[in-house]
Amino acid sequence: MGGMALDDGHRKLTRQEASDAVSGLGWRYVLGEFRTEVRTGSLPLAADVAGRAAAVPEAQGHLRMDVREDRVLLALQTAELGAVTARDVDLARLITAAAEEFRLTTTAGEGDRTVQALEIGIDTMDVALIRPFWKAVLGYVDEAPPTCAQNGLVDPFGQGPAIWFQQMDAPRPQRNRLHFDVSVPHDEAHRRIEATIAAGGKLLSDAEAPAFWVLADPEGNEACITTWQGRDG
């Protein structure tokens, strides 16, 4: 996909625009961010790649990294908007080019594990009542606007999964009130669902697919596989 107009640099991209813009670069659009990884095979090389990525012009305010023993995990988002823009697309291209200087590639993952984002959803009859407990016990902070539609809480260091609260209309004591939301690349969802079912899981609902599928383990504990698709309109 060709470069976007400079005056579009601060416009929030639609989900479709975002996904199309980076898929060919080895990045994926997941939960409002562009995500990728660079496998380095060693910690010193991972640190070098991270340093080179950090030196890309105007990356501050967009780039988040996690340096591991054999790889670098990277995420891009325009922090002030809580969304991706054309600037993030440009940064993805520049970071991919920087990785290629080390003869490495940006990749969305392989095998059973691709780039993904994890959230924990808590069903409740009273969000305001229980939210302060979870904020205090986890040491989390309020999710910054404009991404706080679910009264979200986030780890200020970006290490733990986000927490969000789902308002219930009536008590459901028979149902586990905690569930995981696993946001995966849109082209990974069906393979992940198939693997989960093969591992003993059950598909409870696909009524909201491709936004999310509800699955459960053999004891009824639930998890949702989610994507960016099916959320517009």
- Same domain, yes or no, for 39 and 94? yes
pLDDT of residue 1: 40
List 151's β-bridge partners, or say none. none
Among the listed residues 119, 102, 133, the one whose alpha carbon sits nearest the alpha carbon of residue 166: 119
Of 77, 110, 143, which residue is a domain's last? 110
- The yes-or-no verdict on residue 10 having pLDDT over 70 is yes
Q: What is the pLDDT of residues 31-85, one digit of tens each?
A: 999 999 999 999 999 999 999 999 999 999 999 999 999 999 999 999 888 899 9
Of 110, 136, 170, which residue is a domain's last? 110
* 232 domain residue, yes or no: no
Of 83, 110, 137, which residue is a domain's last? 110
- Same domain, yes or no, for 51 and 148? no
Complete DSSP assignment for 41-88: SSHHHHHHHHHHHHTSTT-TTTEEEEE-SSEEEEEE-BTTTTB--HHH
Q: Which domain holds residue 40?
A: 6-110
pLDDT of residue 210: 96
Whether the CB-CB separation of 215 and 196 falls below 8 Å is answered with: yes
- List all residues 6 or more positions away from 141 whose beta carbon is below 8 Å from its beta carbon: 135, 153, 154, 156
SS3 137: helix
- The yes-or-no verdict on residue 2 having pLDDT over 60 is no
pLDDT of residue 175: 66
| CA quadruple 56, 60, 63, 65: dihedral, nearest 10 | 90
- pTM of the model as a whole: 0.83
- Same domain, yes or no, for 140 and 195? yes
The CATH number of residue 83's host domain is 3.30.1360.20
- The yes-or-no verdict on residue 180 having pLDDT over 90 is no
Q: What is the pLDDT of residues 99-147, one digit of tens each?
A: 999 999 999 987 678 899 999 988 888 888 888 988 887 889 998 765 5
